[in-house]
Structure 1
Amino acid sequence: MHLRLIRGGLDGAPHPDDENTGSDTWPTPDDVRREAARRIRALVYERARAGEPENLPYFSSLRHLKLQIEYTSIALARLRDIPADFADDSYWPA
């Protein structure tokens, strides 16, 4: 009798540790960092930073949200198995 360790759940998706898995099928920490950078750009953070004094509430909220996005990207990138839908809004601060 041969037993096989099942990985990835019932959906049949291969696990990142399986030998026949291509690197393009699972998200990498770089993918997560690129998504974080895209979200920060979407905030127009750099333009607001250049044009707004630091003591305005608008800038403070943008800076706070940027820090939250950076923290989320670090936490997601450190996971052993990064979720395939890591770019979904449910993982990121709003």
Structure 2
Amino acid sequence: MAFRVIEGGLAANGWVNGDNAAQVDVAQVRREGARRLRDSGYDRLEARRRITGIAVPRSVDHFRMQIEFVVGALSRLDPIPADFRNDCYWPILDNA
């Protein structure tokens, strides 16, 4: 009896014979952190702070610190989890 991996199974995620074929590097984690900061509007608020002197809201600045912490923590893992983009690893900006 022969087994084969069906399309969309573990092979689609880079797993081959139980090993992760797609290695994650620190640059990918940094890019994900930068993307999440950019999506939060932090860049715009930081530019506004530099130009006008109006402070970045505390919640957004705290979110930036949390993102930087996660980037550092994930970068120190060996190996870095293949699903590092999963929201379970990253903070959520609470605009309440």
TM-score, normalised to structure 2's length?
A: 0.68
1:29 is aligned to 2:26: yes
Whether the aligned pair in 2 keeps the contact of 1:49 and 1:59 (CA below 8 Å) is: no
Q: Distance in 1 between matches of 2:18 and 2:24?
A: 13
* Sequence identity (%): 40
Q: Which residue of 2 aligns with 1:69?
A: 67
Whether the aligned pair in 2 keeps the contact of 1:69 and 1:93 (CA below 8 Å) is: yes
Q: Which residue of 2 aligns with 1:42?
A: 39
Q: Distance in 2 between matches of 1:12 and 1:62?
A: 43
Between the two proteins, the alignment pairs up a number of residues equal to: 73
Q: Distance in 1 between matches of 2:26 and 2:61?
A: 23
Q: Which residue of 1 aligns with 2:84?
A: 86
Higher relative strand content: 2
Which amino acid in 1 is paired with 2:35?
R
Superposition CA RMSD, Å = 1.8
Q: Distance in 2 between matches of 1:88 and 1:72?
A: 12
Dislocated runs of 4+, deviation >3 Å: none
Structure 2 residue ranges without an equivalent (≥5): 1-15
Q: Distance in 1 between matches of 2:18 and 2:82?
A: 11
Higher relative helix content: 2
